[in-house]
Structures are given as structure tokens and as C-alpha cells.
A and B are shown apart, each in its own frame.
Chain A
Amino acid sequence: MPDLLIELFSEEIPARMQGTARETLRKMVTDGLVEAGLIYAHAAAFSTPRRLTLAIEGLTAESPTLREERKGPQTTAPEKAIEGFLRSTGLTRDQLEIRDDKKGQVYFAVVTRPGRQAPGIIAEVLEKTIRTFPWPKSMRWGAGSLRWVRPLHGILCLLTSEAGAEVVPLDIDGIRAGNTTRGHRFMAPDEFSVTSFEDYAAKLKSAKVVLDSAEREEIIWNEAKTLAFARGLEVVEDRGLLTEVAGLVEWPVALMGDIAEDFLALPPEVLQTSMKEHQKFFSVRNPATGRIEGFVTVANRETADNGATILKGNLKVLSARLSDAKFFWEHDLRVVRTEGLEGMGAGLAHVTFHNKLGSQAERIARIEALAREIAPLTGAAPDLAAQAARVVKSDLRSAMVGEFPELQGLMGSYYARAEGLPDAVADACKGHYSPLGPSDEVPTDPVTVAVALADKIDTLTGFWAIDEKPTGSKDPFALRRAALGVIRLVLGNGLRVKLADVFAPRISAHVVNRYYSGKLDVLSALSDLQIPEDFKEGAELQFSGSVKAIDPDDYASAVEHFPDLADKLQDLLSFFHDRLKVFLKEQNIPYDVIDAVLSMPGADDLTLVVKRAEALTAFLKTDDGTNLIQGFKRANNILTQAEEKDGVEYSFGADPKFADTAEEKALFAALDRAEAAIAPAMQAEDFAAAMAAMAALRAPIDAFFTAVQINADNQILRRNRLNLLSRIRQICLSVADLTKVEG
């Protein structure tokens, strides 16, 4: 069976796009071939900066002949219907078959689609792939209209079988498919032809191109490790950088250099970030001291001087970069020594956080107040939490963070220590942004946790107050991440906090303060304030009456004036519940269980919610659990139907004296026992015990349903039994909303 080789040769493809592009090429082409009726054994895609390559093994040489039958209208159908059928099948009437049907004679169209040779199919599929390839950004070039990530220069498309190799005829906007390609841009630029994938890969290697990015990564990593090892040093691992660098070279050559003595006093993260961001260097560490002392750069070629010129050039650039970093570091330290970290952040008063949420300084003041309030919950000293909150954002004004935004927080912790601030404050600088993603570690230090929560809660309540919520894939302020951060901080530290109580005054304050600081006409509407004709902004106004002031933090009174506050609060809590569901789903707690728990009171206490959900999940895994659910559902269904039919609610309590059978009596007794056990267990939040007590109802309920007919002719018995079912429902629902549980 033939093999197919495709290479799309272009100008340099951005490194970050190559991985996805490989996979997309593989998928689009193989999907297209399969859809057209071809089958293949194996497909592998490769990329270098200048090429995307796809090698398909064991492709069928042609697609099978397909016979397709379609049933049409009856022969007696109106002319229009028959004509429509002819149009849709592309046949003429004498080509239709007439077959007998139950109702009479019916037209059938039998269309045979002959199999097609592979080259024609490949050409079509490849052309479509190229013309519709979903690059994150694509461009036109020259006078043409074709789009590709950068100018596309060549297409190699070769079908190889025992009979030999043939070029698949294809021409896309003047780029004609052939059997040739080129080697390394500088070391082997000449064109050469290939006969198969093996031939192609081998010839590329002698033309100084390593086709497989995984192999390039391996070469880079091994060379880098060897260079460092020879000097008793180690390379700092960085998978992302390795992948990126492998996407920048066709013929990797690692070169190692030393960082000049002048720069060794810089924090290691600064050295690493500067070298990585600007130069794409790997950092080399002295394992004895932990200091970053050197770097590995990866060139795209061998040279006659073994890279000496290249290394010298790179050193020169690095030295200029690190001089900048050193200047920033020393400048920032000077500022901290003279003005303190708080002083460093003074300029935040002039930095807008969001035009509807005020400056960074105003935001910090809010975070400070909130951190102080939350501190007791996390076990932090309120003053310390407030002190930390005042300075955690200060490094946003440092020269270093101005240059390297990714060092925010970390620089703050260095500068806090330089100023001699408490360790907890320094740690909060670094840790209060955490957790940043689902895999980022959750801080545990009480001060850090308090500030981290305050920061995120201020953000969330603020954006909810101004109706800037995430929609679809758009979440420009990373509010989903902030909510997940709050959830993980609360759960990770086992904090007991009723979120609604924390959110309500914050949303209220955002809304009320914004309202007051808003338009003058609004203010005047609230009072009998007179605005003089010649009033200029900034001038002072005289109140002739009294403004009925609303205390911004007093949710209860604010909600009277701003009724939509309640909606905003509810909406934010629902948002949290949605995030919590996603989070718990990853912990293997199913959606229905979460729903069952979230409709219980106290659903804004996340730690409580999770405790309950975990107990319910475990319960549902037991036999008793699943059977009890069945029993509960049966009871609930019968009861609901009866209530609908009778138009009453059966909640008067069943009377044991009407208990007729042994099973009925046993159920009464079991319910009494369960009730007695469940109430205190719930009180103690011992959900496992509550559910165990509930599980004990399984057998009596089952026995009851087997032995007793609910809808008895005797109305007294019937009502009493319905009221008994109501007790079952009531007891079960006191543990969780079991109506939401599936199964």
C-alpha cells in the first residue's frame, strides 16, 4: 500500500504555533482522506521553523465504489414531487427504478459512485486543508490572495509505492506540488529531491535539518546538560522554553556562557526571567550555592569557530540586558530604603484600576479594610493583615516590575525583606496572587490567605457591582480564575465563612459609593441641592438641605434604595456555585450530588457544602444509598401525584394508631429512630452519621412498599399513609435535596 509524504515549506513559522499546527495538519488531512473513503495505517506530523510535514503510511490506493439507494415518491405522486426528487438525485426519470411498496409503486434512485484514485483525493484534501487552515493569525503576501502563517514557498506531495514515487498533481495559486525541498537556510540551502519519507528524513539530516521537534528538544537538553555538567553546574529545567527554542532552530547547537560577576547579586528569578524573556536562554545553576551563574543559548548552526562569535555576541546582548536589570534592582532598593515599600506604591493613586472602580490606591484601601475584617477567620492578626494589604501591590510601581510584569509579587517580597518588614508581610507580597490556576499551590500562611481572599473578593464584588461579568469565552479580568482562587483558598484552608455575608456589604459599598461619586444631578435628586448656573467641576457645593445618606456598607438599608443589589449578590453566588461545580467535578463529585447539596441552606459556606457533598457521594456508592434513593423517589412521586390530585399538602404528620400492618408499624418506629439520630448529627455537621441514620430507613421503606397499598379505599388509612410518606420526604430532604439526585 502506498505511503504519502506532504511538506509545506514556508518562511519562519512562529515557534508557539508549531505544535498545534502539526496536530491540525494531521487531523485535517487524515479526516479528509477518510471521509473520501481512503484508509491509512499510521500518520505522523513534524515541524521545523520552516516546514510542516505529514507522513502517512499504508494508504489505500483508491476509494471503494459506493452504491447508494434513495427512496423517492410514489409513481402516482404529483409531477412536482417527482421533479424535485430528480433534481436532488441528478438523475433522469428513465434512470429511476420502480419498486413495489406496501402502498403501491415507488421510485427508487440507485446511484453508484465509482471509487476514485488516491492522488485526486489527496490533491483535493490538501488544497482544502491549505486554504482553510486555522492559523491563529494568517497573512497574504506579494500580489496573491492565498493566506498562510507566513509566505508559503513550496509544496512537496509524494505518493510512494512499490511501483515508485509519483508527485500528486496540485497547483495552489501558482505553487506547484513537487518532490523537492531545501535544507538548512544557511548551511545547506540547495534544493534536492526525495523519493520517500525515509529518504526525505535522511537527506534533511545531511542537509542540517532535524525534522522531529522532539529529537531537537532531546539534542538541546542533552547538550545543555553535558555543557553544564562539565563545569559542575546544572541547567534549570524549563519545558516551555525547551519547546519554544526547539521551534526556533532546525539544527540546534547549544553554547554555554558565564554571567559576569557584576550581576551575580541579582535575585535568581530576575536573572532567569531576563535571560528567558529577552534572550530565550536557559539558566545554569551552581547546585552548591543555588545561584544562577551561567546560561545556555541555542544557536541554529555550526560555525568554523565553534560558535565563538555567536557566543560573544550573545554575551554582549546579555550584558546590556542585565545592566538594565541591575539598574532597576538598585534603583528600587534605593526607593525602598528611603521611602519604604508603602512609599514606593504612593504613585498607585494615579493609576486607574478600572474607570468605574477607581484607582489602584482606592482599591488597596478597600482590600486593607477587608483583609482586616477577614483576618480572624484565617487566624491572622488583623493589624498584620492590614499592613500586608497596604504594601502587597507597591511593587507594581517598581522599575523592575515595570520591565518584567511577571515578577510582580516576587519583587515585592524581596523589597519587603530589604525594608525589614515582617516575614508574613513579605510572604503575602509574593503569595497573595495565588492560587493562579487549578494546579497552582494554595497559600496557607494566615496573613497571605487573608490578603489573597480580600484581593479576589474586592475584584469580584466590584466587577459584579458594575455588571462587568464574564461572558462565554470572554473573561478579560480573569474573574473565573479569581472565583476559583477564593474557592480553593477557602476549601484548602478549611475556612468557615458565609460568603453572602462577606459579599453583601462589598457589593453594596461598590454600588453606593459609585453612585455618590457619580453624577451631580443624581446627588441633587437625592437632596434639595441647588447647582448654581456658573458651577465648575471641582468647586465646592453648598447643601441647602440634608442628604439622606446611605451607609455604603449597610447592605440592608442600601438594598432598599438599590433593589438590584439583591440580584447582583444572588448572581455572584450562582457564579460561585457554577465554579464550585466545575471544581468538584474534577474531584469526582458528580453534578447531581452538588445540585442536591447546593439547594440546602448554608450553600454559601463552601466548606460545609463540600463536607455534605463528600458524605452524600460516599453514601450513594453504597447499596443502601442507591436503594434508599429509589425508595425516596417512589415515596416522593406517589405523594406528589396525590397532592396534585387532591390539591392539598400532606404534611400533618402521620398517626401511628392508624398503622395497619407490621411493616407500617415498623416504618413508624424506624422514622422515629432516624429523626432522633439525624437532627443532632446535622447539628454537629456529622453528615456521614446523618446519612447512616437515613440509610437505616432503606429496609423498612422497601418492606412498607412491598406490603402496603398506599391508595387504600379507606380514606383515613390513605391520608395517614400519605402523611407517612411525607415524613419520609421531610426526613430525607433534611439531609440533602434528594430530588436532584439522578438514578
Chain B
Amino acid sequence: MSNPAPTNPATSNPAAPRSFQDIILRLMNYWASKGCAILQPYDMEVGAGTFHPATTLRSLGSTPWAAAYVQPSRRPTDGRYGENPNRLQHYYQYQVLIKPSPANLQELYLGSLAAIGIDLALHDIRFVEDDWESPTLGAWGLGWEVWCDGMEVSQFTYFQQVGGHDCKPVSGELTYGLERLAMYVLGVDHVMNMPFNDPEAPIPLTYGDVFRQAEEQYSRYNFDAADTEILLRHFEDAEKECEHLLSFPAEDPNSGKRIVMAQPAYDQCIKASHLFNLLDARGVISVTERQAYIGRVRALAKKCADAFVQTPAGGWTPDTSKAPDTSKAEN
């Protein structure tokens, strides 16, 4: 394990975090103290924390929302067999979504950096233009990447559109790349050397102890072994199932309730998206096909968004059902 002590700027602070999990726990505590519901990861394979229904779906409609959670994220093409100091096919994002975006969101965010041991008086924090767009989710927003001493530590976005719907009110989304941020705060040069739990714990574990083997196995799986025919079939199944679920009438004959199955359908959209990523990593999707696949996933995301705004959490009430849908984007 590396010994960052003499060079780590944060060690001068007695309250500096000592491990990866310490940083996660501090973020949890911080955002809990700011009133966010601390959720758990979504139980599906996703490419980024944004895919969690707590972000994608909850950013739709007018119902206020404030949530924070860790989301394990998978990007099959980024696998490097655990050898690259900075790249992983499975990593963690910390995600905060608050709707409507509060006026002091930047200050709240800076407070979270202080909470994980970044001394704002010694570091250079900058908000550098970076507009966010997710072609698969039909979503975009404006914001920044946040730099700490020239290093990107977070994405900060004001959602403008999701699933083709204008966001009204606007959600503020914060995404922290946890490994990179933690490596910086802890002064670690290779992700696998990062202390996962306290280095002085009876059984100290590094990130590598926990994940190196998994990175190797998934790199091999992603690049060489995944059966592309099965993946393709699953993609098509997920697409079909998504559309099937959305074709049901809202009235459920069994319960007698109005139940729009937006979230189960959205699960299928998430699946399709991940399967597409796997196919992409296997190199079986050509440049021209790529756009077509992205378009298919986006079509699902849009339909799910259309469905979600027909649910109470998405702002549906028996009254709104009669009024024309005004949340739909004009363009």
C-alpha cells in the first residue's frame, strides 16, 4: 500500500478521512444533514448514477425531491484488467438530486468538499463550463465540471430536459466520481492501493483487495467472453418487454387502482442500455449501427418518461389528467 502521509495536503487536518469508505460515509452524513433522503443503490446494472430512478424519473414532474445515494456504475469499455491506475469497468458514483434546485446549491456543494477534508482555503476550486447530455436518456442540462487544483472532481448540472420532457421545476444534480475524488483526497496514485477501510483496522483492506479480481474477470468477460448473440436477444427482449408493460391500460382490474407501470418498464430500458454497452465493448456494433441502438434506447427512455408523468410521483392527479400535457417540450 502506498504511504501518502508526508505528501498528503489533507493530513495536516486531524479530521482528514483515512479511507475510501470514510469519504463515502462523510458524504452520506453531510447530505443527510442537509435534508436529503439517503437512498441505497439501485439493484440493477447501470452506466451512471443518473440512471437510478431516483434521478431520471424523479427529475420529472413537479413533486419536490431531495435524495443522495451511492450508485455502482458499469462501463464495460473502460475495463483495464485492474492494471490502469485510474480506469475501472466498475466504479462508484455519488449522486445528489434536489428538485427544485436550491439557490445555494453551489455553497451546499462546496460544503460537501470541506466535509471530506478538502481545505477550501488551500485549494483552488473552479466551476468550468461543461454541458451535460445523455443521448440514451434524451436528457440534457447546463452546468460545470468542478475542478480542484486542475482535477475534475464532480459534475454539477441543472437538468433542463429528461426523456424529452422539459424539467419544471429544474433539478440540480451533483455527481462525484468517488474513486478519483478519494484518490486525490487520500493522496493515492493507484486506485488498487487505496485503503478501502481504515488502514489501522485489524484487517485492513485496499480497493484492490476488494475489486482487483473482479476487474480482471469482468474485463475478460466484457471484451472476449460475453455471448453477443445472447446479449442481442436480451436487448430485443428488454425492448419488447418495456413496450409491452407500457401498453397496459392504467386501470388495474385486480386492485381496481390506477397503476401505470412506469418503473418496471424503466427497468427494461436500463437493461437495454447496459446490454448495448456490453455489445459495444465486444466491438460488434459498427459506427452507423451505434446511433441506431442509442436511438432505440432513447425511444424507450422517452416512453418511460411519458408514463412516469402519468403517475402521482410524476405529478399526475385526477385533475391534471383532464388538462392537456404541458410538460412536453416544444421542440
Contacts and interface: CB of A to CB of B under 8 A. Distances in A.
Interface of A: 11-12, 14-16, 49, 137-145, 149-151, 153, 186, 248-249, 279-280, 297, 299-301, 303-305, 309-310, 312-314, 316-318, 320, 350-352, 355
A248 B147 CA distance: 11
Contacts of B9: 309, 312-313
B202 to A, nearest CB: 32
B150 A313 contact: yes
A355 B120 contact: no
Interface string B1-25: 0000001010000000000000000
* Most chain B CB inside 10 Å of its own CB: which residue of A141, A143, A316: A141
Contact of A313 (B102, B184, B286): B184
Given A313-B149, A316-B151, A137 B121 contact: no
A49 B125 CA distance: 13
A313 B129 contact: no
A142 B170 contact: yes
B141 interface: yes
28 contacts: A11-B106, A14-B129, A16-B129, A49-B127, A137-B131, A138-B142, A139-B158, A140-B170, A142-B101, A143-B168, A143-B169, A150-B158, A151-B103, A248-B128, A249-B126, A303-B121, A304-B122, A309-B123, A309-B149, A310-B123, A313-B9, A313-B124, A313-B151, A316-B149, A317-B149, A317-B151, A351-B287, A355-B288
Nearest to A253: B124
Given A12-B127, A142-B103, A313-B123, A151 B158 contact: yes
B144 interface: yes
Given A11-B127, A140-B168, A318-B150, 10 more contacts: A139-B142, A139-B160, A139-B170, A153-B103, A299-B124, A303-B122, A309-B9, A309-B119, A320-B86, A352-B288
B177 interface: no
A154 to B, nearest CB: 11
Contacts of B101: 141-142, 151
Contacts of A144: 169
A301 B129 CA distance: 19
A150 B106 CA distance: 12
Contacts of B232: none
Contact of A186 (B120, B143, B288): B120
A737 to B, nearest CB: 48
B142 A297 contact: no
Interface string B231-251: 000000000000000000000
Nearest to B106: A11
A314 B7 CA distance: 14
Given A16-B129, A150-B142, A318-B150, A142 B102 contact: yes
B143 to A, nearest CB: 8
A365 B122 CA distance: 57
B141 A12 contact: no
Given A12-B144, A142-B170, A300 B126 contact: yes
Please classify how large the interface on chain B is, using the bins under 10, 10 to 19, 20 to 34, 35 or more. 35 or more
Contacts of B167: 140
Nearest to B131: A137
A358 to B, nearest CB: 13
* Most chain B CB inside 10 Å of its own CB: which residue of A249, A317, A318: A317
B121 A186 contact: yes
Contacts of B127: 11-12, 49
A258 B301 CA distance: 48
Given A12-B127, A248-B126, A313 B170 contact: no
A301 B9 CA distance: 17
B144 A279 contact: no
Contacts of A149: 142
* Most chain A CB inside 10 Å of its own CB: which residue of B86, B128, B129, B141: B129
Contacts of A141: 100-101, 158, 170, 172
Nearest to A17: B129
A690 B178 CA distance: 78
Contacts of B129: 12, 14-16
Interface in B177-217: 184
B148 interface: yes
Contacts of A138: 142
A303 B148 CA distance: 14
Contacts of B288: 352, 355
Contacts of B149: 309-310, 312-314, 316-317
Contacts of B148: 313
A262 B100 CA distance: 49
Nearest to B85: A320
Contacts of B170: 139-143
Contact of B169 (A14, A142, A299): A142
Contacts of A355: 288
Contacts of A153: 103
B190 to A, nearest CB: 11
A137 B157 CA distance: 14
Contacts of B150: 279-280, 297, 313-314, 317-318
Nearest to A352: B287
Contacts of B124: 299-301, 303, 310, 313
Nearest to A313: B149
B187 to A, nearest CB: 9
A139 B151 contact: no
A137 B151 contact: no
Contacts of A145: 168
